[in-house]
Structure 1
């Protein structure tokens, strides 16, 4: 069988993972995290580093990207609740974002399950809330 030769990219094509202004490269590439993030929602932030949290649960982290840049993510399940922990590289806030599956109705219950598995208390929570109700910064006072 003859080997099929694939031509290289067209000279005016941009890299697939970047914004292209609706022209040029016919492919737009997204990271696995960008695809998966749509099935999760942010519910809290944690003060310990992502490395420490991942080490506690022996999680592997994956590096992806999103519109704002590179992101490190660990996705996992505890007691049938799907979680993700993420940290955006270069973010001015050091918080690790806690994501839960959109199918999980009770965010407080999910957060309690996660904190228990991590062996930390609510003092590690830096913010709470979600995109619909807004976020509350908890670093300057006790949790309401």
Structure 2
């Protein structure tokens, strides 16, 4: 059987995962996180780093990218609720973002499930809310 040769990229094509002003490359690549993120809603930020949170649950952290740069993400399920924890590389705010599946009926209950599994309480929250309703920031003090 003859070997089929695949030609290399055209010289004017941009890399597939980058912005393509002229859309000269016929492929536009998304990271696994960019694709999966559409199934999740951002609901909170946690003060502890992603490494400590993922170590607690023995999660594997995967690296992807989004419009703002590289992102480290762990996606998992607890009590039939889908979660993701993410951290954007070089972010001004170093919080770990908490994402919950858009199909979750009660986001507050889901957040409680996560915090309980992580062995932390709401004092670990840096902010809480949604993109649609806005976010409430917490200073970390109790009371």
Compute the TM-score of the two structures, normalised by the length of structure 1: 0.96
For 1:98 and 1:104, the matched residues in 2 are separated by 13
Cα distance change, pair 55–140 in 1 and its aligned pair in 2 (3 A): closer
Alpha-carbon offset, residue 20 of structure 1: 0.5
Alpha-carbon offset, residue 139 of structure 1: 1.8
Residue 108 of structure 2 is matched in structure 1 by 108
Residue 120 of structure 1 is matched in structure 2 by 120
Please, which moves more after superposition, 134-143 or 112-121?
A: 134-143
Residue 36 of structure 1 is matched in structure 2 by 36
Residue 134 of structure 1 is matched in structure 2 by 134
The ranges of structure 1 where at least 4 consecutive aligned residues each deviate by more than 4 angstroms after the TM superposition are 140-143
Cα distance change, pair 118–140 in 1 and its aligned pair in 2 (3 A): closer
Unmatched 5+ residue regions in structure 1?
none
For 1:97 and 1:110, the matched residues in 2 are separated by 14
For 1:15 and 1:131, the matched residues in 2 are separated by 31
Residue 86 of structure 1 is matched in structure 2 by 86
Residue 21 of structure 1 is matched in structure 2 by 21
Residue 45 of structure 2 is matched in structure 1 by 45
Secondary structure of 1:116 counterpart: helix
**How many equivalent residue pairs?**
143
Unmatched 5+ residue regions in structure 2?
none
Alpha-carbon offset, residue 105 of structure 1: 1.8
Cα distance change, pair 55–141 in 1 and its aligned pair in 2 (3 A): closer
Residue 77 of structure 2 is matched in structure 1 by 77
For 1:141 and 1:21, the matched residues in 2 are separated by 47
Cα distance change, pair 22–142 in 1 and its aligned pair in 2 (3 A): farther
Secondary structure of 2:35 counterpart: helix
Offset from partner CA, 1:22-57 (integer Å, 9 cap, x none): 421110000000000000000000000000000000
RMSD, aligned CA: 1.2
Residue 3 of structure 1 is matched in structure 2 by 3
